Amino acid sequence: MSFRNKLGLAFFSVLVPVMLVALVSWWSMGVALDRQETVFKLSREIEQLFFQINTEEEQFATTQNIRHSRSVSTLLEDLNVRISRLFTYSAEKEPGHASEDEHDQPVKKLQGAFIVYRQGFADFSSQILEMQTIESRMIQESVRLQTLSDNLLYNGDPKVLAIQQAKGQMLLGEKDYLLTQRADSIQIVTESVRQIRLLAEEIRMQSIEGTSMPLKVFRIARLAALYEQILRKYIQEKAQAKETMSRMRASQENFSHELVQYIDHELASAQANVRNLR
> How high is the pLDDT of residue 5?
47
> How high is the pLDDT of residue 15?
43
List CB contacts of 11: < 8 A, sequence separation 6 or more. none
Burial of 76 (0-12, 13-18, 19+ CB in 10 A): buried
> How high is the pLDDT of residue 26?
42
> How high is the pLDDT of residue 34?
65
Alpha-helical runs (H) found in 151-212: 158-180, 183-206
> How high is the pLDDT of residue 182?
85
- Identify residue 185 by its one-letter amino acid code: S
Burial of 162 (0-12, 13-18, 19+ CB in 10 A): middle
- Identify residue 258 by its one-letter amino acid code: E
Q: How far apart are CA 263 and CA 259, in angstroms?
A: 6
Domains of the chain: 3-82+99-125+253-277 (no CATH), 131-239 (1.20.120)
User: Is the Cα dihedral 16, 22, 28, 34 positive or negative?
Assistant: negative
> How high is the pLDDT of residue 27?
44
> How high is the pLDDT of residue 14?
45
> What is the CB neighbour count within 10 angstroms for residue 109?
16
Pick from 144, 126, 11, 2: nearest CA to 64: 126
> How high is the pLDDT of residue 10?
44
Coil, helix or strand at residue 90: helix
User: Is the Cα dihedral 98, 102, 104, 108 positive or negative?
Assistant: negative
Q: Are 113 and 255 in contact (CB under 8 A)?
A: yes
> What is the CB neighbour count within 10 angstroms for residue 170?
26
**CA-atom Rg of the chain in angstroms:** 35
Tell me the mean pLDDT per 10 residues along the chain, length 278: 47 45 46 64 83 92 90 92 76 49 71 92 93 92 91 79 92 90 89 94 78 84 94 91 92 89 74 59
Pick from 33, 72, 22: nearest CA to 50: 72
Which segments within the chain are labelled E, that is strand? none
> How high is the pLDDT of residue 166?
94
> How high is the pLDDT of residue 24?
44
